Amino acid sequence: MKTIYHIIVKEFIQFRRDKRMMALSFMAPILQLILLGYAATTDVKDVPMAVYNQDKSVASRELIDQFVHSGYFIIQKDVNSLDEIDHEIEFGNVWMALVIPPDFSSNLLARKTASIQILTDGSDANSANISLGYASQIINTYSGSIIADIQKRVPLVTRPAQLQPEVRVWYNPDLKSRNFMVPGVLATVLMIITMTLTSLGIVKEKEIGTLEQLMVTPIKPYQLIIGKLLPFAIIGMIDVVLVLIVTRFWFAVPLQGSVVLLFALSGLFIMTTLGLGLFISTISKTQQQAMMTAQFFIFLPFIYLSGFTFPVENMPQAIQYLTAIIPLKYFIVIIRGIFLKGTGIAELWPQALALWIFGIVILTLSVMRFKTKLS
């Protein structure tokens, strides 16, 4: 016990002296959170669009007004030919074009189906999808109002059967992508900081030769491992507190669930990241090697495959199976659940169990490897 205490004291002294590392550990998460909190938003606003109005009727102008008033679109240009639309989209001046054919209002009056055309720049598929969604919503609303209008004027006509969907969004009622992204940032930041500190901390001692010196002292391998990992776990937890404060008070992301549960499950998650950090330290000779290994073999695949950026459900089946071995995936589900839905352990136990198993397995394997590497 005493020995472990001495190692922990030593780690904290060194951590305090290394101003850059300290800044990295405490400032970087907050900076990253703020950056991603503002930048990593998938909300689409003020989509520039062109309008080719061949009809020039009251009805067509009404429809265009709907687009303008929605707040999602800005009419950048009125055009007079399809070629012109082509040109505008190609040069990126507009993302979307609305084409109203000459027979639009006459079809409406004749109570026939009137068609309109929407062209969109698919090169940014994500934004295109979202703005298409907005556009079709506007058009639906408009056609609904036409039907209502007709009924008012001609009450004798039998009421056409219609289903008016009333959409209500749960859990993230404002549909703010920030509320969805920010808890995920907490998870990735926690992973990056704890894993980097652990692997670098151990490889550094290897580089300067103190690890060899420690192995000649009566320190037992398990004491060394606990003494080296515990301080980084503590630093990781401090990061959780910092990030929570920023998330809650700066971004005003509501925390629906239990803070205690959040901390407890963060602890489970840290077990896996410390284990991986230790593992990286056993396969790296220099700090650069450790950094590169962590970035390319852990951070990038974890971030891409965890559902942090892309929903796992949309991935091919084979890749979905692969994501099962990514601890970050479970923690992302946990943290979003606790933040946005107020989910408790009753619903999250499968994820918690997965993290627990991963933690035990990764730590055990890494410790075993570390021990054999020492001798």
Partner 1 sequence: MSQLAIEVNEITKMFGNFTAVDKVSFGVKQGEIFGFLGANGAGKSTTIRMLIGLLEPTSGQAKVGGYDVKTQTDLLKKNIGYMSQKFSLYEDMTVEENIHFYGGVYGLSKEKVKERKKWVLEMAGLQGRDKSLTKTLSGGWKQRLALGCAILHEPKILFLDEPTSGVDPVSRRNFWDLINELSSQGVTILVTTHYLDEAEYCNNIILINAGRLIAQGSPKELKTEHITFPILEVETDNVVTALELLRTQPWVVEISVFGTYLHVGVSELDLGKNAIRLTLATKGIQIQRIEQIVPSLEDVFLHLLEQDMKKVAA
Minimum distance from CB of 228 to partner 1 (Å)? 13
Minimum distance from CB of 220 to partner 1 (Å)? 8
Taking the least distance from each CB to partner 1, the nearer of 208 and 319 is 208
Do 153 and 310 touch, CB atoms closer than 8 A? no
Query: Residues touching partner 1: how many (CB under 8 A)?
Result: 24
Q: Is 283 helix (H, G, I), strand (E, B) or coil?
A: helix
Considering only residues 161 to 220 of the shown chain, the ones binding partner 1 according to CB under 8 A are 208-210, 212-220
Taking the least distance from each CB to partner 1, the nearer of 160 and 209 is 209
Taking the least distance from each CB to partner 1, the nearer of 20 and 159 is 20
Taking the least distance from each CB to partner 1, the nearer of 13 and 148 is 13
Report d(CA 371, CA 226) in Å as an integer. 13
Q: Is 183 helix (H, G, I), strand (E, B) or coil?
A: helix
Minimum distance from CB of 311 to partner 1 (Å)? 44
Do 3 and 219 touch, CB atoms closer than 8 A? yes
Residue 9 sits in the site that holds partner 1 (CB under 8 A):
yes
Minimum distance from CB of 223 to partner 1 (Å)? 9
Minimum distance from CB of 197 to partner 1 (Å)? 15
Question: DSSP readout, 199-256?
Answer: HHHHHHHHHHTHHHHHHHSS--HHHHHHHHHHHHHHHHHHHHHHHHHIIIIIS-----
Contact stretch for partner 1 (CB under 8 A) within 4-12, 43-51, 105-113, 263-271: 4-12
Burial letters 88-106, b for 16+ CB under 10 A, else e = bbeeeebbbbbbbbeebbe
Taking the least distance from each CB to partner 1, the nearer of 208 and 264 is 208
14's tokens = 């060194």
Which of 10, 176, 248, 371 is in the footprint of partner 1 by CB under 8 A? 10
Minimum distance from CB of 218 to partner 1 (Å)? 5
The structure tokens 């606990």 sit at 226
Residue 230 sits in the site that holds partner 1 (CB under 8 A):
no
Residue 3 sits in the site that holds partner 1 (CB under 8 A):
yes
Burial of 170 (0-12, 13-18, 19+ CB in 10 A): exposed
Residue 353 sits in the site that holds partner 1 (CB under 8 A):
no
Residue 18 sits in the site that holds partner 1 (CB under 8 A):
yes
Residue 309 sits in the site that holds partner 1 (CB under 8 A):
no
Nearest to 266 by CA among 278, 256, 274, 276: 274
Residue 23 sits in the site that holds partner 1 (CB under 8 A):
no
Minimum distance from CB of 375 to partner 1 (Å)? 7
Residue 61 sits in the site that holds partner 1 (CB under 8 A):
no
Residue 17 sits in the site that holds partner 1 (CB under 8 A):
yes
Q: Which helix (H) or strand (E) holds 49?
A: strand 47-53
Burial of 41 (0-12, 13-18, 19+ CB in 10 A): middle
Do 324 and 229 touch, CB atoms closer than 8 A? no
Minimum distance from CB of 290 to partner 1 (Å)? 18
Taking the least distance from each CB to partner 1, the nearer of 6 and 56 is 6
Report d(CA 335, CA 186) in Å as an integer. 8
Q: Is 76 helix (H, G, I), strand (E, B) or coil?
A: strand
Taking the least distance from each CB to partner 1, the nearer of 15 and 95 is 15
Nearest to 180 by CA among 332, 355, 346, 344: 332
Residue 183: CA atoms inside 13 Å, Cβ hemisphere, count? 29
182's tokens = 């920010």
Taking the least distance from each CB to partner 1, the nearer of 288 and 372 is 372
By CB under 8 A, name the binding residues for partner 1: 2-3, 5-7, 9-10, 13-14, 17-18, 208-210, 212-220, 375
